[in-house]
Structure 1
Amino acid sequence: MRAIGGLWRWRHNPLRRGTDLAEAWLALAAVVLILAVAPLVGAAVGAAAQGALQESVRDQRAARHLVAATVVRKLSRSPLDPDPETASGRGTHSRVMANWTAPDGTVRQGAVTAGIKSPAAGDHFTIWTDQRGRTVPRPLDGATATTHAVLAGFGATVLAVGLVEGARRLIVWRMVLRRYARWDRAWDRAGPDWGRTGAGS
C-alpha cells in the first residue's frame, strides 16, 4: 500500500526526481512479487517435496516389513536410539537380544530395541526389517511426509520473500549512493563560492 501511495504522491509533484519515481515503482514491483510470486514458488516447492516424499513412503513400505521377534535375554545397556521419533518414549524401550524370522524365511538373532519396559525371556514384540531380515528404522508415514513437504514449501516462500526484499534494498541502497555522489559533485561545483563575500551567495 505504501508503494502505491508513493507512486500516486509523486505522480505530478514538481519536486519529483527520477529516482523518487524509480524507488516507488521498485517498491510496487517488490510488493507484487511478494504477494503473487513468492506463494507460487512455495507451492511449487511444496508440491515437488510432497511428490518425492510420498514416493519415498511407498518405497519404504514396500521394502520394510514388520516381523515378530522373541526376547532371548535383556542386555545391560541401551545405546542412543537412532530413530528420533522413538526418542520421546525411550523410557518404555529396552535393549534385548532377540530372535526373529526374516521375510525371506531365514532365522536371525541380534541386539535390538524392544518396546517393552521390563522384558523377560520369551516375550514377544515387533521390529522392522528389510527383506533379508536386517533391522531398519520404521518407514516414513504419509502424515510426516506431508508435514515435511508443507515446511519445505513455507521455507521456500520465506526465502523468496527474503530474496525479493533483499534485492529491493540493495537496489535502493545503490540508488541512494548515486544520489549522494551527484550531490557531492554539485556541491563541489558550488563550493568554491559558498559563503564568500561578494560572490553573490
Structure 2
Amino acid sequence: MRTIVGLWRWRHNPLRRGTDLVEAWLALVTLVLIVVAVPVLGMTTASLSRDALLGSVRRQHENRHSAVGTVLRRIDSPPLDPDPETSSARDAHSRVLARWTAPDHTDRFGVVLSDLKTPESGDHFRLWTDEHGRVVGRPLDGATATTHAVLAGLGAAAATAGLIEGARRMILWRIVQGRYARLDRAWDKAGPDWGRTGTGS
C-alpha cells in the first residue's frame, strides 16, 4: 500500500528523479508478482506433483505384492555403523533368514529386514515383493504422496518469491549505483571550489 501511495505522491513532484519512479514501479510490480504469481505457481506445482506421485502410488500398488514372511532364524547384525543417517534405519529392524511365497506361489528364501524387535523362529512379519518374488520396499501411500506434493508446492513458491525479491534487489542496487555515478560526475563538474566565496557559485 505504501508503494501505491508513494507512486501517487511522486507523480508531479518537481524533485522527482526518473529513477524514483522506476523504483516505485519496481516495488509495485514485485508486490503484485509475489501476491499473485507465487501462490499460483505454488498451487500448480503442488497439483502437478500430486498427480505424478499418485500415479506412482498406483503403479507401485499394482506391481508390489504383500506377502507374509516366516522367520527361519535370526541373523547377527553387522558391527555398529558410526554414520547416524544409515544406522538409524537399520537399528529399527532386525536381519533374519526368512521364507515367503512369491506371487507365482513358489517358496522363496533369503536374508531380509523385519520389523520384529526380537525375532524367533516361526514368527511372521509382513514384507513386499515384486511380481518375481524379490523383496522390495513398501509402496508409497496416498497421504505421503500428498504431503510430498504440498512440500514441493511450498518449496516452489518460496523459491519463486526469493527469485523475484532477489531480482528486485539487484535492479535496485544498479539504480543506486547509477545515482552514485551521476552524483560523482556532478561533483567533478562543480569542481573542488564549489561553495567558496568568489568562485561564481
TM-score by length of 1: 0.90
1:171 correspondence with 2:171: yes
Q: Secondary structure at the match of 1:96?
A: strand
CA distance 1:9–1:22, shift in 2 (3 Å): same
Aligned to 1:99: 99
Aligned to 1:46: 46
1:160 correspondence with 2:139: no
1: distance between equivalents of 2:95 and 2:38?
48
Give the counterpart letter for 2:175 in structure 1: M
Aligned to 1:59: 59
Gaps of 5+ in 2: none
- 132-141 or 106-115: which moved more? 106-115
Give 1:5 deviation, angstroms.
2.2
| Identity over aligned pairs, percent | 60
1: distance between equivalents of 2:19 and 2:197?
35
Give the counterpart letter for 1:110 in structure 2: G
1:47-69 per-residue CA deviation (whole Å, 9 max, x = no partner) reads 11111100110011111111011
Give 1:163 deviation, angstroms.
0.8
1: distance between equivalents of 2:119 and 2:184?
82
Aligned to 1:137: 137
Aligned to 1:114: 114
Aligned to 1:73: 73
Backbone CA RMSD of aligned residues? 2.0
Q: Secondary structure at the match of 1:76?
A: coil
1:147-178 per-residue CA deviation (whole Å, 9 max, x = no partner) reads 00000001111111111111111111111111
Structure 1 residue runs of 4+, over 3 Å off? 86-89
Gaps of 5+ in 1: none
1: distance between equivalents of 2:17 and 2:32?
23
Give 1:95 deviation, angstroms.
1.4
2: distance between equivalents of 1:178 and 1:118?
72
Give 1:44 deviation, angstroms.
1.1
Give the counterpart letter for 1:108 in structure 2: R
Give the counterpart letter for 1:111 in structure 2: V
- 60-69 or 120-129: which moved more? 120-129
2: distance between equivalents of 1:50 and 1:88?
30
Equivalent positions of 1:76-91 (< 5 A) are 76-77=76-77, 87=89, 90=92
Q: Secondary structure at the match of 1:16?
A: coil
CA distance 1:88–1:16, shift in 2 (3 Å): farther
Aligned to 2:28: 28
TM-score by length of 2: 0.90
Aligned to 1:148: 148
Give 1:195 deviation, angstroms.
4.4
Q: Secondary structure at the match of 2:70?
A: strand
1:112-170 per-residue CA deviation (whole Å, 9 max, x = no partner) reads 12222222211222111111111111000000000000000011111111111111111
Aligned to 1:15: 15
2: distance between equivalents of 1:6 and 1:87?
57
Give the counterpart letter for 1:198 in structure 2: G
